[in-house]
Amino acid sequence: MTDDHEIRRSVEELRLTFKSGKTRSGDWRKAQLQAILRLVHENEDTLFRLLELELGKHPVESYRDEVGVIKKSADHALACIDQWMSPKKGRLPLVFFPASGKVLSEPLGVVLIIGSWNFPITLTLDPLIGAISAGNAVVLKPSELSPNCASFLANVLPSYLDPKAVKVIEGGREVANRLLEYKWDKIFFTGSPKVGRIVMAAAAKNLTPVTLELGGKCPVIFDSLPNSDLKVAVKRVASGKWGACAGQACIGIDYVIVEHKFASTLIEQLKKTIKRFYGDDVKNLKNHSKIINKNHFDRLRSFLEDPAVANCIVYGGSFDDTSLIIEPTILLDPPLDAEIMNEEIFGPLLPIITVDNIEESVEFVNSKPKPLALYAFTKNENFKKRILAETSSGSVTFNDAMIQFVCDDLPFGGVGQSGFGRYHGKYSFDTFSHEKAVLERSFYFELEPRHPPWSRFKLEFLRAAYNYNYVGMLLLFLGLKRVSKS
């Protein structure tokens, strides 16, 4: 564990580095992004091994959700960074003519990134890409629940990235709390709403801006679909629920809402797909991650200890204590007041909630805190419009799940209880930048009506000039007076 002295020394060194101006240069930023690309490329096999060890992720899953995501994200940042860094012209009101306006993105300073364990590479390096692109110095605190990946980052990052500008500090909640005592220029936190509140309270003491990437219960609204679409839709649901870290994903599917009359068709198709994707022997499950640790394993098991919930299992329900693997499990209509329907599941248990009419799902979703992601499988255009207009969530994906995470041009982030702030692509750059407004006037003309002594004419002049109408422009012209050069 990192001691106080080491933390203080690291933060002081980062402050000096930032002050030196080195991290502001485009060349420095590009060199760091190229180093991240080299790091994931040269250590791909190690990362596959560590992710398998830590979470039981298959290398294909690890590439799809971690290594490949970081390569793509760093490549995208490298391709766009010149454009992101360039000042943007700002249009000014004619009333200030002649003048020019621009928006300059400047780095915030020394920033803290606190990561989660479920995607231990993506959820640390992806925000890091944003922070570096924007020219900041960074402390990265990975989660203690994925210690092998955390140590990998702590040991390997300094030999690729500028060690005077990027530091990895390992540790659990005590270290996180000590880090939170420092004054940061930004805190980017990924984790639970509970810890999000602690982070925000600590940040408030120094008025430090925060981005909170939190979690919640992400619903799927599953409309009745024709057989051909059903098969594809169920594949996407089965991958979105069980194929990404065994459901331990912030945008993973939490529960499905479907009409009564369609539930058995959906469940039968889900069962067939699960067997094909993962097999049906909990001791020998294929392509399926394990639960991160015994605490989380027991937390998930405790959901099913409620007999009213256990009675609702229609598929799966087996747990293997040795490998910490839980079989993909489907529950039909568990009681709505049960814990499983009120806590974020974050694991491979899938409740299916039935309604008489799929339109009722909108009220159901709205009765819960705003989710990070909402998924709807439907071909009904009016229903899609209604979902967009009447629900609120970090993102909405129609007819698929999870893929919104890897779209650099779409903002990723929550709303309400699922967090605030956004990142990915240019949104990451903006998250770690301050957009400074720069306005420059000329001394050539002076607009006398803006200065006292006030008169009725000046009021009418300003009214017309602010409104940009022709009369206003004429008055503006008349009101401009060459400033005496004396």
Q: Does residue 66 bind ligand NAD (CB under 6 A)?
A: no
Q: Does residue 118 bind ligand NAD (CB under 6 A)?
A: yes
Q: How many CA atoms lie within 13 A of 387 on its CB side?
A: 26
Q: Does residue 190 bind ligand NAD (CB under 6 A)?
A: yes
Q: Which of residues 78, 104, 156, 195 is near ligand NAD by CB under 6 A?
A: 195
Q: Is 348 helix (H, G, I), strand (E, B) or coil?
A: coil
Give CA–CA dist 428/415, Å, rounded.
17
Q: Which two tokens stand for residue 433?
A: 């930048």
Residues 6+ apart with CB under 8 A from 89: 100, 101, 102
Handedness of CA 288, 403, 250, 304 (dihedral sign): negative
Give CA–CA dist 426/428, Å, rounded.
5
CB of 131 to ligand NAD, least distance (A): 15
Query: Which amino acid belongs to residue 329?
Result: T
Q: Between 271 and 370, whose beta carbon lies closer to ligand NAD?
A: 370
Handedness of CA 403, 407, 410, 416 (dihedral sign): positive
Residues 6+ apart with CB under 8 A from 15: 110, 137
Give CA–CA dist 404/382, Å, rounded.
22
Burial grade of 290 (CB within 10 A; 0-12, 13-18, 19 or more):
buried
Q: Which two tokens stand for residue 138?
A: 């960074």
| Binding footprint of ligand NAD, residue count (CB under 6 A) | 27
Q: Between 344 and 430, whose beta carbon lies closer to ligand NAD?
A: 344
Per residue, the 3-state secondary structure of 179-236, as one string, reads HHCCCCCEEEEECCHHHHHHHHHHHHHCCCCEEEECCCCCEEEECCCCHHHHHHHHHH
CB of 134 to ligand NAD, least distance (A): 19
- Residue number with the smallest Cβ distance to ligand NAD: 215
| Residue ranges in 399-428 that form contacts with ligand NAD under rule CB under 6 A | 414, 419
Q: Which of residues 52, 144, 306, 446 is near ligand NAD by CB under 6 A?
A: 144
Q: Which of residues 47, 67, 95, 114 is near ligand NAD by CB under 6 A?
A: 114
Q: Which of residues 61, 185, 213, 259 is near ligand NAD by CB under 6 A?
A: 213
Q: Between 115 and 317, whose beta carbon lies closer to ligand NAD?
A: 115
Q: Is 286 helix (H, G, I), strand (E, B) or coil?
A: coil
- CA-closest candidate to residue 291, choices 309, 303, 307: 303
Q: Does residue 19 bind ligand NAD (CB under 6 A)?
A: no
Q: Does residue 463 bind ligand NAD (CB under 6 A)?
A: no
CB of 337 to ligand NAD, least distance (A): 21
Q: Locate all alpha helices (DSSP H) within 378-469, ordered by sequence.
A: 381-390, 425-431, 456-466
Q: Between 195 and 314, whose beta carbon lies closer to ligand NAD?
A: 195
CB of 194 to ligand NAD, least distance (A): 6
* Part in contact with ligand NAD (CB under 6 A); list of ranges 62-70, 210-218, 427-435, 446-454: 210-218
- 407 carries an active-site annotation: no
Give CA–CA dist 293/298, Å, rounded.
9
The beta-carbon contacts of 195-198 under 8 Å, at least 24 apart in sequence, are 196/419
Evaluate whether 304 touches 310 at the Cβ level (below 8 Å): yes
Name 102's bridge partners: 89, 438
Q: How many CA atoms lie within 13 A of 3 on its CB side?
A: 1
Q: Which of 149, 218, 245, 250 is catalytic?
A: 250
Q: Which of residues 250, 266, 309, 349 is near ligand NAD by CB under 6 A?
A: 250
Q: Between 17 and 417, whose beta carbon lies closer to ligand NAD?
A: 417
* Part in contact with ligand NAD (CB under 6 A); list of ranges 91-99, 101-109, 139-147, 462-470: 139-147
Q: Does residue 130 bind ligand NAD (CB under 6 A)?
A: no
- For residue 403, how many other CB atoms are within 10 A of its CB? 13
Q: Does residue 191 bind ligand NAD (CB under 6 A)?
A: yes
Q: Between 56 and 191, whose beta carbon lies closer to ligand NAD?
A: 191
Q: Which two tokens stand for residue 304?
A: 């099913």
Q: Is 75 helix (H, G, I), strand (E, B) or coil?
A: helix
* Part in contact with ligand NAD (CB under 6 A); list of ranges 88-96, 108-116, 129-137, 301-309: 108-116
Asked, as a colleague might, if the bond just before 158 is cis with ω within 30 of 0, I would say: no
Q: Which two tokens stand for residue 30?
A: 């590009």
Q: Which of residues 115, 130, 240, 479 is near ligand NAD by CB under 6 A?
A: 115
Q: Between 213 and 327, whose beta carbon lies closer to ligand NAD?
A: 213
Q: Between 191 and 317, whose beta carbon lies closer to ligand NAD?
A: 191
Q: Does residue 192 bind ligand NAD (CB under 6 A)?
A: yes
* φ, ψ of residue 291 in degrees (nearest 5): -80, 145
Q: Which of residues 70, 77, 165, 176 is near ligand NAD by CB under 6 A?
A: 176
Q: Does residue 147 bind ligand NAD (CB under 6 A)?
A: no
Q: Which of 54, 66, 213, 327 is catalytic?
A: 213
- 460 carries an active-site annotation: no
Residues that are catalytic: 213, 250
User: Which residues of the shown chain bind ligand NAD in the complex (CB under 6 A)?
Assistant: 114-118, 123, 141, 143-144, 172-173, 176-177, 190-192, 195, 198, 213-215, 250, 344, 346, 372, 414, 419
